[in-house]
Chain A
Amino acid sequence: MHKVTGRLSKILSIILGTALSAVFFMAAWAKVSGNPGTKEVFTTLEMEPHGRIIIGIIEAAAAFLLVTHKYSATGALLGFAVMIGAFIAHGTKLGFVLSEADGGFLSLQMLIAASLCLGVMWLERHDLPIVGKLFDLEDERTSL
């Protein structure tokens, strides 16, 4: 990869990763600490309390991995998986607009987080688990 673009994408991925990490950390904290809103959501899903805690721990792990140097792609993948689950939950049980006050803001937040996760996964694709090495080979192939 060209050096300048390489550096730019690294900076971009650090910025995105840190922002995502903050979002996931807050979400994890709300779930693990038992925020009434999240308790309500997980009661609807009939996953209270274990599901709430499990998802909280996964989000915390994603938040932590996103700010590491080598495993940010893994963190983004984990976050992306949680977001898919969240979409299923909102699409089937919760609805995309939780209340009038929310006005669909949470769903929008989800969508943004999922896209940013995809963004970090793409920027750090060489570090993705299992498939990362394929991108190295791909670079070599296209450099011919």
Chain B
Amino acid sequence: MESRLVVNLDALSRTVNAGIVVGIPVFFAFGHYVSFYFHFLTVAFILLALLNLFYKHVQKPHTLLANYGLIAQFRYLTESVGPELRQYLFSGDTEERPFTRIDRSEVYRKAKNVDSSSAFGSVRDLPHEPLLLRHSLFPVKREEIVPFSLTFGEERGLEKRHTMHSPILISAMSYGALGKRAVMALSRGARKAGILLNTGEGGFPKYHLQEGADLIFQMGTAKFGVRTESGELDEKKLTEVASLGAVKMIEIKFSQGAKPGKGGLLPQEKISPEIASLRGISPTQDFLSPSSHAECVDAASSAAFVKRVQDLSQLPVGVKMCLGREEEFVQLIDAFMEQDRFPDYLVIDGAEGGTGAAPKSFMDDLGVPIFSALPFVQNHLQQKGVRNRLKLIASGKLINPGSQIRALCLGADAVYTARGFMLALGCIQALQCNSNSCPTGIATHNPHLEHGLDVVDKAQRVYYYVKNLEKDLYEICAAMGHKDLKELSAEDLFQKQEERSCTK
């Protein structure tokens, strides 16, 4: 026996469809005998009947429209506004992904420089993360805290070494992925906050340079901006880029967390003449980005390539990768040891990384997450006795001080975040970064959408976000009983019983 109220969609649709047809003569009669104004409805019903006819008998792509007619349109209509309704009304504060509302609102509040403290306990079930932080019974006084400082290139005694005074860096986002206003706001904010901005693999960093921030030039697998026609390194172009005063470091991207092991396709429609010239590619055909560097076929050749870029640029050179096979990482470190030259820093990007368009499975299923990768990398480097030969930067969804300090505990010297800064720029997590329709004007080149992004205001938010992150990081560090962020270690973490394997 049927125990609940069921809508018989078939019967309902038949009634609605018949109602539309019946409406025509009914309103026609009213129009004829009562008032001609009723014919407005007659016309409307004639058009609806035509639409219904089209849905049911002409169009083929939509089964539901063909079976039920107009009423099925409600499904598509409500489905299309579903994400907005869920975000506004139905999703709880801890439900949304990739970032929950409380994660995002913390960033928004930091970026707007308003109080981001909360009250009456955590809204999450503790422990909500496998790793929590241990505090000390004897916290350090705030005035005893040592300001952060990290020098890249000191291990090799480089002349052009770079010292950072903030543990935060803006991760790789190219002009192309972001619109120019977003890039300019990031650059201006980074300059004000005194942090490094990664250019992303977008070729010559024209807009990143405009606002005067210190830059890390990223060289992706396609080597945009420093490539020969066949996709190999153009040494002359690289030395030119390296000699730009603003470029402080070079970063060679082997892989990234959002799409580890994958190249990309830049469709011809997206290659404007400007992008073609900045990236050094042809504007008349689709561009296929390779999944690895042409020069790097194994560990030894990869290590040699890093050395070559170091020698050419005379700048600190880093390598970015998402951890995949551990034995390959071991081989790579062995190769660095063999040639007695290490990259100046290593970026470990967790599979959580998100800035990059890729098939869904690459986002969801490939790569090792940051809090599993980082302990392995740290332990391996320590075991080999080479941890002091390079710096370690962590990235992958590290937008809040809590997750950043976890990364610092697990061995990172500094943390990268990209999406944290997108949120600071006003991102509302509409998930449309790859469709040129970003409603907040960040990941789009549509001038109407970019119009709302005020460079001056958003640069200020980037600055506040950094400053408030630093403030929280120092406070947490003090609460954990350390004077310096560099003193943090895995001992400062508490691990859920059943997941103890991570740091041991």
Binds B, one of A80-88, A95-103, A105-113: A80-88
Q: In the complex the two chains form, what is the Cα distance from A59 to B73 in whole Å?
A: 28
A-contacting 9-mer, from B55-63, B144-152, B282-290, B311-319: B55-63
CB closest residue in chain A, given B46 = A84
Q: Which residues of A lie under 8 Å from residue B32 when comparing CB positions?
A: 92
Cα–Cα distance between A36 and B288 once the two chains are bound (Å)? 68
Given contacts A45-B36, A46-B35, A51-B37, whether A81 and B59 have CB atoms under 8 Å apart is no
A85 nearest in chain B by CB position: B43
Size of A's binding interface in residues, CB under 8 A: 18
Chain B residues whose C-beta falls within 8 Å of the C-beta of A138 in the assembled complex: 59-61
Interface residues of chain B: helix, strand, loop or mixed (majority): helix
| Given A81-B47, A130-B73, A131-B51: A88 and B60 interface contact (C-beta under 8 Å) | no
Partner of B31, one of A77, A88, A131, A134: A88
Scan residues 62-101 of chain B and give those whose CB is less than 8 A from a CB of chain A. Answer: 62, 65, 73
Q: B residues within 8 A CB of A93?
A: 36
Please tell me if the beta carbons of B59 and A46 are within 8 angstroms of each other in the complex.
Answer: no
Asked, given contacts A134-B61, A141-B60, whether A89 binds B54 with beta carbons under 8 Å apart, the answer is no
Chain B residues, Cβ within 8 Å of A137: 61-62
Main secondary structure of the interface of A (DSSP, over half): helix
CB under 8 Å from chain B, chain A span 24-77: 45-47, 51, 77
State the Cβ distance, B461 to closest chain A Cβ, in Å. 34
Which A residues touch B60, using CB under 8 A? 138, 141
User: How near does chain A come to B64, taking the closest CB pair, in angstroms?
Assistant: 12
Closest A residue, CB atoms, query B62 = A134
Assuming the contacts A84-B43, A85-B43, A130-B73, asked whether A141 and B36 have C-beta atoms less than 8 A apart, the reply is no
Known: A131-B51, A138-B61. A88 touches B35 (CB 8 A): no
List, in ascending order, chain B residues with CB within 8 A of A141's CB.
60-61
Pick the residue among B39, B51, B62 that contacts A88 (CB under 8 A). Answer: B39
Could you give, for residues 18-47 of chain B, a 1 whenever the CB lies within 8 Å of some chain A CB and a 0 otherwise? Answer: 000000000010011001110110111011
Mask of B107-149 contacts with A, CB within 8 angstroms, 1/0:
0000000000000000000000000000000000000000000
Least distance between B57 CB and chain A CB atoms (Å): 13
Complex: A137 Cα to B44 Cα, angstroms: 26
Tell me how many residue pairs across A and B have CB atoms closer than 8 Å. 44
Roughly how many angstroms separate A85 CA and B31 CA in the complex, as a whole number? 11
Give every chain A residue within 8 A of B42 (Cβ-Cβ).
85, 88
A100-144, CB under 8 A of B: which get 1 and which 0?
000000000000000000000000000000110010011001000
Q: Looking at the complex, which one of A77, A89, A130 makes contact with B39 (CB distance below 8 Å)?
A: A89
Please measure, in the bound complex, the distance between the C-alpha atom of A77 and the C-alpha atom of B37, giving whole angstroms: 20
Within the complex, the shortest CB–CB distance from B21 to chain A, in Å, comes to 16
- For A88, the chain B residues whose CB sits under 8 A away are 28, 31, 39, 42-43
Which residue, of B39, B51, B59, B73, has the highest number of chain A Cβ atoms within 10 A? B39
**How far does the alpha carbon of A92 sit from the alpha carbon of B32 in the complex, in Å?**
7
Q: Which residues of A contact B54 (CB under 8 A)?
A: 131
Which A residues touch B31, using CB under 8 A? 88, 92
CB distance from A144 to the nearest CB of B (A): 12
- List CB contacts (< 8 Å) of B320-360 with chain A: none
Query: Which B-chain residue is minimally distant from A47 (CB atoms)?
Result: B36
Task: Kindly provide the distance from the CB of A46 to the nearest chain B CB, expressed in whole angstroms.
Answer: 6
Q: Across the interface, name the chain B residue whose C-beta is closest to A46.
A: B36
Q: Are A81 and B43 in contact (CB under 8 A)?
A: yes
Report chain B residues within 8 Å CB of A85.
39-40, 42-43
* Residue on A nearest B47 in the bound complex, by CB: A81
Q: Nearest Cβ distance between residue A76 and chain B, in whole angstroms?
A: 13
Complex: A93 Cα to B62 Cα, angstroms: 41
**In the complex, what's the smallest C-beta–C-beta distance from A103 to chain B, in angstroms?**
25
Q: How far is the CA of A89 from the CA of B60 in the complex (A)?
A: 36
Residues of B within 8 A of A77 (CB): 47
CB distance from A73 to the nearest CB of B (A): 14
Contact residues in B for A89 (Cβ distance below 8 Å): 36, 39
CB distance from B178 to the nearest CB of A (A): 27
Closest to A82 in B: B43
> Judging by beta carbons under 8 Å apart, are B37 and A47 in contact?
yes
A134 to B35, CA, bound (A): 37
Report Cα–Cα, A130/B73, bound state, in Å.
9
Please name all residues of chain B whose beta carbon is closer than 8 Å to the beta carbon of A51 when the two chains form the complex.
36-37
CB distance from B312 to the nearest CB of A (A): 46
What's the nearest-Cβ distance from chain A to residue B81, in Å? 15
Measured between beta carbons, the chain A residues less than 8 angstroms from B51 are 130-131
Question: Which residues on B sit within 8 Å (CB–CB) of A46?
Answer: 35-36
- Give the CA-CA distance A61 to B207 in the complex, in Å: 43
How far, in angstroms, from A93 to B65 measured CA to CA in the complex?
Answer: 37
Q: Which one, A47, A92, A134, contacts B59 given CB within 8 A? A: A134
A93 to B35, CA, bound (A): 12
Minimal Cβ-Cβ distance residue in B for A83: B43
- A131, B61: Cα distance in complex, Å: 12
Which residues of B lie under 8 Å from residue A47 when comparing CB positions? 36-37
- Please, which residue of chain A has its CB at the minimum distance from the CB of B59? A134
Known: A88-B43, A134-B61. 13 other contacts (CB 8 A): A46-B36, A47-B36, A81-B47, A85-B40, A85-B42, A88-B42, A92-B31, A92-B32, A93-B36, A131-B54, A131-B59, A134-B62, A138-B60
The interface of chain A, by Cβ under 8 A from chain B, is: 45-47, 51, 77, 81, 84-85, 88-89, 92-93, 130-131, 134, 137-138, 141
Q: Could you give 24 example pairs across A and B, Cβ below 8 Å?
A: A45-B36, A46-B36, A51-B36, A51-B37, A77-B47, A81-B47, A84-B43, A84-B47, A85-B40, A85-B42, A88-B42, A88-B43, A93-B36, A130-B51, A130-B73, A131-B54, A131-B59, A134-B59, A134-B61, A134-B62, A137-B61, A138-B59, A138-B61, A141-B61
Q: Closest 7 CB pairs between A and B?
A: A137-B61, A45-B36, A134-B59, A84-B43, A85-B43, A81-B43, A88-B39
